[in-house]
């Protein structure tokens, strides 16, 4: 579940009213390395309270009193707990399941949680959100600005052009994810026939 080399990073696009369930809302996620012209998007149905909590954070609105997810984040701060990442690891019977990976510096813990709660807390802490290739394949759809949709095929790093690989390399370096950066750097070297330190 937590082989980070295989995980796909996501970003939160926003909240819309669900067309499937009256009174519910759809949380829209997409791959973090999307372009303005195409993306893979995952809709997740959430309740009104969770939608409000996520929307408040996305719109940078300051509620008069802390919401439940604000309380969780305050407790994290008080007890020195850091949310390292959220991983949406499963989709079964129409339900997403997520794990929050936390640490207090000496103890690491994995907390199974509802996806809407995990994302609401991640937005407040700046923690990255990931999913697995399997969940992405099962639940995402392709969005293209020009409206020409293609069947989804999982993208391997080796299949990406050098320009996109260099963008991904820079993102991994910025986030200090050096193992991922080294893997991408090796692929770039192979594609451009450059010597690589790891070989």
Domain residue spans of the chain: 4-152, 156-199
pLDDT (tens digit per residue) in 142-186: 888 776 655 444 556 777 778 878 888 888 788 777 777 788 888
HSE-up of residue 177 (Cα within 13 Å, Cβ side): 18
Question: Which is more confidently placed, 124 or 162?
Answer: 124
Share of the chain above pLDDT 70, in %: 84
What pLDDT does 198 receive? 47
Report which DSSP code applies to 199: -
CATH 3.40.50.170 is the classification of domain 4-152:
no
């Amino acid at each position: 579940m937590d082989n980070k080399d295989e995980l796909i990073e996501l970003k939160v696009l926003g909240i819309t009213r669900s067309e499937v369930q009256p009174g519910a809302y759809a949380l829209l996620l997409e791959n973090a390395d999307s372009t303005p012209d195409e993306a893979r998007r995952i809709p997740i149905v959430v309740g009104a309270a969770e939608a409000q909590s996520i929307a408040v954070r996305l719109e940078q609105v300051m509620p008069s009193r802390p919401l439940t997810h604000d309380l969780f984040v305050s407790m994290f701060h008080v007890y020195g707990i850091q949310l390292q990442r959220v991983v949406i690891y499963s989709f079964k019977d129409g339900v997403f399941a997520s794990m929050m990976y936390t640490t207090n510096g000496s103890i690491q813990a994995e907390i199974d949680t509802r996806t809407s709660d995990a994302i609401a807390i991640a937005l407040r802490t700046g923690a990255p959100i990931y999913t697995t290739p399997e969940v992405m394949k099962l639940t995402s759809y392709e969005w293209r600005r020009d409206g020409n949709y293609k069947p989804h095929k999982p993208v391997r790093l080796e299949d990406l052009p050098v320009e996109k690989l260099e963008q991904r390399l820079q993102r991994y370096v910025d986030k200090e994810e050096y193992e991922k950066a080294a893997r991408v750097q090796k692929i770039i070297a192979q594609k451009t026939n450059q010597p690589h330190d790891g070989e």
